[in-house]
Structure 1
Amino acid sequence: MRKNRISLLFSFLCLFSLNAIQAQQAWEAGAWLGVSHYFGELNPSYNLTRPGFSGGVTARYLFNNRLSFKSSLNYAFISGTDEDSSNPFELARNLHFRSNIFDLSNQFEFNFLPYVHGTREYFSPYLFAGLSIFHYNPQAQLGKKWYNLREYGTEGQILGEEYLSYGIGLLYGAGIKWDINYRLSINLEVGARLVPTDYLDDISTVYPNRGEVQSLRGDIGVALSNPSTVPGFGSQGTQRGNSTDNDSYMTTGISIMYYFGQLKCPPIMRY
């Protein structure tokens, strides 16, 4: 009975979209490679001077020649440093970080032009928007070793109340897709990730009490919290970050997609 209901529902969805012009109802899958850029306290001017590696695997369902849905498993490397700045405050602050980001993204896509494999409608720009579930882990270097900053409460977080290392973010962007042949296509895509955290870089609010960090996290915590070499810089309560703006990052990539052909609707089962 349950299988019959599922088959009936799927058949209805298929029939519902039969009137779409040049309906495809098909799957694509592929992989992509590209670069990622971080924007936050260590890159407030949105410079593109520190590209990181990014890539992933993806699958797309084509509802018709205009609308599709894509899911992807992605990786992005981001980094930033005050050394890139010409601002005296940021140079004195002397902070840096790197982070690996893993995310599962889901997005709806709208083609500006009709797009159908194996026809003259083989090219289209598109817009997309969706959500991503992501995990990040900012690190900084002392000597030759990299440390997980979240574990050291660099802004005075007490043990057990550190910021979350995961979240759900908004993604949006634009791209271009075009066929190489009936089976293969190339996609070029630029996407922004707006995340609900200001801690991609481990920097958000003010400098903590040095003694409290010392007692909770030790000498390493103190050094990671305030690596400035300027005497007296970073006293308790002075500005360390900007908590009014969350961090973000973007990816730019090119993908190769394989088209599996049209998905046939099953016959409606009779009871």
Structure 2
Amino acid sequence: MKNRLSRAVWKRVVVILLVCAPFSAFSQYWQAGGFLGITNYSGDLTQKRVDMRYTRYAIGAHVKRDINRYLTLRAGLTYGRIAGADSTNTDTMLLKRNLSFRSPVFEAQVGVEINFLDLDEKKITPYIHGGIGYYSFYPTTKDANGNTVKLRPLSTEGQGMSQYPTRKPYNIRQFSIPFGAGVKLLLTDNWIVGFEFGLRKTFTDYLDDVSLTYIDRNSLLRSRGQQAVNFAYRGDEVTGNHVTPGTYPTDGTTRGSDKYNDWYMFTGLTLSYRFGGGNGYGGHWKKQKASDCPRFF
């Protein structure tokens, strides 16, 4: 008798959960908006983890789908620029290397946001986000006359040269892992403003075209020409900083470090307009009364 009663109670609990879930859930709605902020880079041309002197702008757009109060799906496109240069470092060896780069970064990403508070109830919530990204980059530099020079075709570290078969040309379109944190503020029932910081873990050490060692000067000259030699090593262009110009290093001399891959990051403000929903006053995320749920006891 007791077991039958227990089974009957559990059946009613399951029925309540299945039937009442739509009543106690929140109306899903969409968000569409934009991002305006800055881009930074961390790699072989920054003596610090991040050199804020090479901060560049970033702009983007996004769409979001709120599944419930605490879970949001997101997708977005972001464009930014990254840069770095040895000339602003303090280490003598880096000053003598005298390399520099700049690159556009265009990223598409999808992911999730986990909100810690009910935004409609508290009007503000911190959140964390993560997902997967697909981005493109293309490192360039400037010559002494200010002309833009594309670095990848020069094979500055022997990429794609038969003399260095293990050094393959790096892909300029790759996957990344975006993750970070932010805070949202509900301005009105429809408008949400936020501040977000997002790191991008990459799987390349060539955002800046620097990773391994110098290759033989004559081999590079024969394979890629004088311009490749000029931009593989620029220590002979050094002026000031109490550093004397150098000569092209011997084959195998350290040029960069492949111990860690390069990173990039976006930081800035978001503004979103939300629409959809439908339950309750204002049409957004208003829980229906418990009396709307059928009674079984």
Please say whether Structure 1 and Structure 2 have the same fold, judged by a TM-score greater than 0.5: yes
Instruction: Tell me: CA distance 1:263–1:145, structure 2 relative to 1, closer, same or farther (3 Å).
Output: farther
Give the 3-state SS of the residue equivalent to 2:52 in structure 1: coil
Alignment partner, residue 36 of structure 1: 39
Give the 3-state SS of the residue equivalent to 1:49 in structure 2: helix
Alignment partner, residue 269 of structure 1: none
Q: 1:124, CA displacement in angstroms?
A: 0.3
Rg comparison, structure with higher value:
2
Alignment partner, residue 284 of structure 2: none
Counterparts of 1:16 and 1:157, CA distance in 2: 62
Alignment partner, residue 267 of structure 1: none
Counterparts of 2:184 and 2:58, CA distance in 1: 19
Counterparts of 1:35 and 1:132, CA distance in 2: 18
Which residue identity does 1:259 align to in structure 2? Answer: R
Q: Deviations over 1:76-123 (max 9, x none)?
A: 10000001100011000000000000010112110111123xxx3321
* 1:94-173 alignment, distance < 5 Å: 94-116=98-120, 120-142=121-143, 143-158=145-160, 161-173=168-180
Uncovered stretches (5+) of structure 2, i.e. residues with no partner? 1-17, 163-167, 237-244, 280-297
Which residue identity does 2:94 align to in structure 1? Answer: E
* Aligned residues of 2:185 and 2:193 also touching (Cα < 8 A): yes
Q: Deviations over 1:53-90 (max 9, x none)?
A: 10101001100000001100111100000011000110
TM-score by length of 2: 0.79
Q: Deviations over 1:200-242 (max 9, x none)?
A: 0000000011111111211111111111123335221100000
Instruction: Tell me: CA distance 1:127–1:21, structure 2 relative to 1, closer, same or farther (3 Å).
Output: farther
Counterparts of 2:220 and 2:276, CA distance in 1: 59
TM-score by length of 1: 0.86
Q: 1:22, CA displacement in angstroms?
A: 5.1
Counterparts of 2:42 and 2:27, CA distance in 1: 39
Q: Percent identity?
A: 30
* 1:210-225 alignment, distance < 5 Å: 210-225=217-232
Counterparts of 2:41 and 2:220, CA distance in 1: 28
Give the 3-state SS of the residue equivalent to 1:90 in structure 2: helix
Which residue identity does 2:27 align to in structure 1? Answer: Q
Alignment partner, residue 194 of structure 1: 201
Counterparts of 2:185 and 2:276, CA distance in 1: 16
Give the 3-state SS of the residue equivalent to 1:222 in structure 2: helix
Deviates more, 1:17-26 or 1:83-92: 17-26
Counterparts of 2:231 and 2:136, CA distance in 1: 21
Q: Deviations over 1:154-198 (max 9, x none)?
A: 001126941110110111100011111111110110000010000
Alignment partner, residue 4 of structure 1: none
* Aligned residues of 1:174 and 1:191 also touching (Cα < 8 A): yes
Q: 1:244, CA displacement in angstroms?
A: 1.1
Larger helix proportion, structure 1 or 2? 2
Instruction: Tell me: CA distance 1:17–1:248, structure 2 relative to 1, closer, same or farther (3 Å).
Output: farther
Give the 3-state SS of the residue equivalent to 2:225 in structure 1: helix
Is residue 207 of structure 1 aligned with residue 194 of structure 2? no
Counterparts of 2:115 and 2:122, CA distance in 1: 11
Number of aligned pairs? 247
2:95 to 91, 94, 97: 91
* 1:169-188 alignment, distance < 5 Å: 169-188=176-195
Uncovered stretches (5+) of structure 1, i.e. residues with no partner? 1-14, 265-271
Give the 3-state SS of the residue equivalent to 1:113 in structure 2: coil
Counterparts of 1:209 and 1:20, CA distance in 2: 72
Alignment partner, residue 260 of structure 2: 245
Which residue identity does 1:182 align to in structure 2? Answer: D
Give the 3-state SS of the residue equivalent to 1:203 in structure 2: coil
Query: Superposition RMSD on alpha carbons, in Å?
Result: 2.0
